[in-house]
Structures are given as C-alpha cells and as structure tokens.
Chain A
Amino acid sequence: MAGPMKMRATLSGGVTDVRVLMTHPMETGQRKDPDGKLVPLHFIQNVTLKVNGKTVVESQISQGISRNPVFTFRIKGGAKGDRIEVSWIDNHGETNQTETAVA
C-alpha cells in the first residue's frame, strides 16, 4: 500500500496553486541496500492533475526526480470548492491518488 499523499490547493490573485506531496522511494536502481544488493528500479512514471474531473496536467517523470516527490502546479482561475485530484502510477503498476477542494 502506498504511503501518505498530501495536497493543498490555494486560490490567490486569480491563480490556484496546487502543491502535492507523494510518498515514494523513487529508486534509481543504482543504490545498494545495507547487504550490498542493488535496490531495483522503482519510481513514479505518470502524474495526472484533474480539476473537476478534467485533466489539466499530464506529467511523465523518471527516477531522476527526488525521493518523496513534491510538485507544485498552477491552474488558471479556479474557484473555492473546485475539486482537485492528483493521481500517480509507477513502473510496478502501483498507484495512489488524493483529492482536495480549492481553499
């Protein structure tokens, strides 16, 4: 089960700032564990941002993104109460998602 995800969407000056935090090891496949074995490649590949059900940002990322990724996106306009949804899927097919309302 994926670790916690946290998101905040704040409207200010006609722009909604969406900051989303994800728990994920983002393993590059180059790191060795304490026993000296290589930890396999394990990273988020796609992140989707939706506003009221409509996709507005599609992200493709690699293992070059830091562990426990944090992204900030900006949406034009938006209104308090708009539903913001972010989901991700990794190279193992594992997924997670979170939802929040614009504050």
Chain B
Amino acid sequence: MRSKVTPGDQSPLKNRPNASPVVSGPQPVNGLAAIVLKPFAALAATWNKDGFGAKTAADALKTLGASNPVASRDVVIEAPQIAENGAVVPIEITSNVPGTTSIAVLIDKNPFPLVGKFDFMEGALPFVKLNAKVGETSEVRVVAEALGKHYVATQEIKVTIGGCGG
C-alpha cells in the first residue's frame, strides 16, 4: 500500500505524530503511538506549495521568510553565461556563509521562479549542482539561509535559439 502525495501536501510527520497515514508492522501496546514507517515511499514529505506556485521571485521568497536577503559574495553561482538550450541549464551553487542550512534556487523569468529548495543537515556541505529549465534569458537567483539570516547572489544566463543539434 502506498500513500499518494498530492500537491500541497504539507504534513511533515513531526507535526502529526499520531496521525501518520502510513503505518505498518506491529504496533507497540504501551499507548505511545510509535510510527513504523515503510521505506520513504509512504512518507508524506513537506513541499512548499505556495512557494513553488508563486509567479514572482519576490512572492516565492516571501513564503521562505526571505524577503530581504543581503547580497553576498559568499554565495557562489557557477553557471554558463550562455545556454545553448534552455531545457537543460547546469547551475552549481556553493554557499560559503558559515552556518548555511538551506539554499533556494529561483529563475526570475520562469512562469514559476522557485525551482528548488535544499535543506542541509549535519554532514552535508551547502552545495548543490542541478539542471534547471530556463525559459528565456533570465537572472538565476540563489538565496542561502544561515543562522536566521538570508544572503543572495544572482547571475544572468542568456538563452539562445540554437541551430543544428550536433
């Protein structure tokens, strides 16, 4: 049995310890609701519906509580200035801001700018490389969160109309 995650499902298990939709295996009899989880398949994970549904970068950042990030050179974006094809644009991000716990990636001109939010726990470096869709020449906007503050860096990526595919 697999539980369906519908868009907008915001029910991190930590907020609903007694109401997991996916419980399997023997239940403890001591009254405490212990949750035995099936491997990730069934975990109703958090997905920021409002942020991903926002039509401007500003609105998306609002949902992340990051409306006034400070420009910082410690947030490093490695991306080509020209993309031969907007369907796959490689973007590599490193945050050198001490204490970085998350990185949000936005493509300003996309219909829905927020494309990813990455939370880093103990053991992970605040780094991610991904391929994004960039619909038209646009700024890539990266916002890092560290110790309650937000830091931003941007870079323009020009998208070309290509010719032959090679």
Establish whether A and B are touching in the complex (CB under 8 Å): yes
Show the binding face of A for B, using Cβ within 8 Å.
15, 28, 30, 41, 45-46, 48-49, 51, 54-67, 69-77, 87, 89-93, 95, 97
- Listed from nearest, the 6 A-B pairs whose CB atoms lie closest are A64-B115, A93-B4, A72-B129, A66-B131, A56-B124, A74-B125
In the complex, chain B residues whose CB is within 8 Å of the CB of A87: 39-41
**B144 interfacial by beta-carbon distance below 8 Å:** no
Q: Which applies to chain A's interface (DSSP): helix, strand, loop or mixed? A: strand
Chain B 65-102 interface residues, beta-carbon cutoff 8 Å to A: 87-89, 92
Determine whether the beta carbon of B133 is less than 8 Å from that of A46: no
**B141 interfacial by beta-carbon distance below 8 Å:** no
A52 to chain B, nearest CB (A): 9
Determine whether the beta carbon of B131 is less than 8 Å from that of A54: no
A23 to chain B, nearest CB (A): 14
In the complex, chain B residues whose CB is within 8 Å of the CB of A55: 121
Determine whether the beta carbon of A95 is less than 8 Å from that of B128: no
B158 to chain A, nearest CB (A): 17
9-residue interface stretch from B29-37, B42-50, B147-155: B42-50
**B19 interfacial by beta-carbon distance below 8 Å:** no
Determine whether the beta carbon of B124 is less than 8 Å from that of A66: no
Q: A74-B124, A87-B39, A93-B2 are in contact. Are A57 and B119 (CB under 8 A)?
A: yes
Q: Mark B121-137, 1 if CB is under 8 A from A, else 0.
A: 11111011111110000
Determine whether the beta carbon of B52 is less than 8 Å from that of A89: no
In the complex, chain B residues whose CB is within 8 Å of the CB of A90: 5
Q: A57-B124, A65-B116, A74-B127 are in contact. Are A91 and B5 (CB under 8 A)?
A: yes
Determine whether the beta carbon of A70 is less than 8 Å from that of B130: yes
Partner of A89, one of B45, B116, B122, B133: B45
Question: Which of chain B's residues has its CB closest to A18's CB?
Answer: B124
In the complex, chain B residues whose CB is within 8 Å of the CB of A48: 40, 45
Determine whether the beta carbon of A60 is less than 8 Å from that of B48: yes
Question: Which of chain A's residues has its CB closest to B87's CB?
Answer: A66
Contacts A60-B52, A97-B39 aside, 18 further interface pairs with beta carbons under 8 A come to: A46-B45, A48-B40, A49-B124, A54-B123, A55-B121, A56-B123, A57-B121, A57-B124, A58-B118, A62-B112, A62-B114, A62-B116, A65-B130, A69-B130, A70-B130, A72-B129, A91-B6, A91-B7
